[in-house]
Chain A
Amino acid sequence: MWWAILGAAAGCYLLKLAGLSIPAGVLQRPLVERIADLIPVALLAALVAVQVFARGTHLTLDARAAGLAVAVIALLLRAPFLVVVVAAALTAALLRLAT
């Protein structure tokens, strides 16, 4: 188990370092630039979806969805980041308390 932990940790670090170390010239290509722009959008959207609607390998609709809905409302009202996050958590916690 220790070898797997240390090996995977070393590999994950090298993957991070590789990204930072690849010459800047690579990013000057329009294709790479466009993809690099799109990646955070796609990943953040996927992270939102998976964090809220997945439990393990199942899709579920639970208190987290209500938290997300409140987060959307808070964002539409231009609430600051922390307010959005706390509102989402509070909504889910209270809903679970009530049910």
Chain B
Amino acid sequence: MTDPTSALAQAEGRGIVRDGLGVGLATGLYGTSFGAVSVAAGLSVLQTSALSLLMFTGASQFAFIGVAAAGGAPLSGAATALMLGTRNTLYGLKLAPLLGFRGWLRPAAAHLVIDESTAMSVTRDSPESARVGFLSTGLAVFAFWNLFTFVGAIAGNLIGDPRTYGLDAAVGGAFLALLWPRLSEPRNRVIAAVAAAVALGVVPVTAAGVPVLVAGGVALLAGVLTRGATDATEFPA
């Protein structure tokens, strides 16, 4: 890319913040379903809000209350949540050199390492853009997710099914929009197709949330396999 003028950079920054707020709102609204489902699973409003405030990673939270709803032990719910949480370690590995946070910023930023903030920053082409994308998305999701978790827990069934508003479809659309720019690379199209197929394949035999983690294994496997086949034709680099 050519050197952007500062006006262009500012416009880009505003665009990134706007996108971050949009993802935050779309994801946060879905927190109503988490709040409602959690209360229905037998947790108190305080416990539900504590999960969103302190755990703050949606898939792990849903897994935790999913086990509780199915009558599982709280400890096995915790184990499932942790297993899904390893995803965020991988995100952190990817984010650390990109964001370059030092000192007190790092432990503070760590809490915001989630699917959405990662996706909205790893695609940026400069550290500044990556930081703006990470912080705006992370903080927006945190604010809206906690707000709507509380609203969902309080209102419970009164608020109705978020599916009525198509919010569940919005999340799928959002993830696809985030994936889209990366699909220009043929290798990534193969990985994406295999990962999606593997995830769907294990849906019937694993707990909610686990298929995504299994798909992460596809990335690991593909990374290792392509090393053995550097000049082979299967996975052109």
Given contacts A81-B19, A93-B165, contact A36 B94 (CB under 8 A): yes
> Among the listed A10, A50, A75, which residue makes an inter-chain contact with B212, where contact means beta carbons less than 8 Å apart?
A50
Tell me if B4 counts as interface (CB < 8 A to partner A): no
Given contacts A45-B196, A67-B170, A92-B169, contact A20 B164 (CB under 8 A): no
Q: Which residues of B contact A88 (CB under 8 A)?
A: 166, 169-170, 172-174
Q: Chain B's nearest CB lies how many Å from the CB of A5?
A: 6
Does B96 contact A20, Cβ atoms closer than 8 Å?
yes
Interface residues on B, range: 35 or more
Interface pick from B124-132, B141-149, B178-186:
B178-186
Tell me if B103 counts as interface (CB < 8 A to partner A): no
> Among the listed A24, A32, A45, A63, which residue makes an inter-chain contact with B166, where contact means beta carbons less than 8 Å apart?
A63
Does B195 contact A24, Cβ atoms closer than 8 Å?
no
Given contacts A39-B219, A81-B19, contact A8 B78 (CB under 8 A): yes
A residues adjacent to B (C-beta < 8 A): 1-13, 15-22, 24, 26-27, 30-32, 34-36, 38-54, 56-59, 63-64, 66-68, 70-72, 75, 81-82, 84-94, 96
B residues adjacent to A (C-beta < 8 A): 18-19, 22-23, 26, 43, 47, 50-51, 54-57, 60, 64, 68, 74-75, 77-78, 81-82, 85-97, 99, 101, 106-107, 109-111, 113, 115, 118-119, 122, 163-180, 182, 188, 191-200, 203-208, 211-212, 214-216, 218-220, 222-224, 226-227
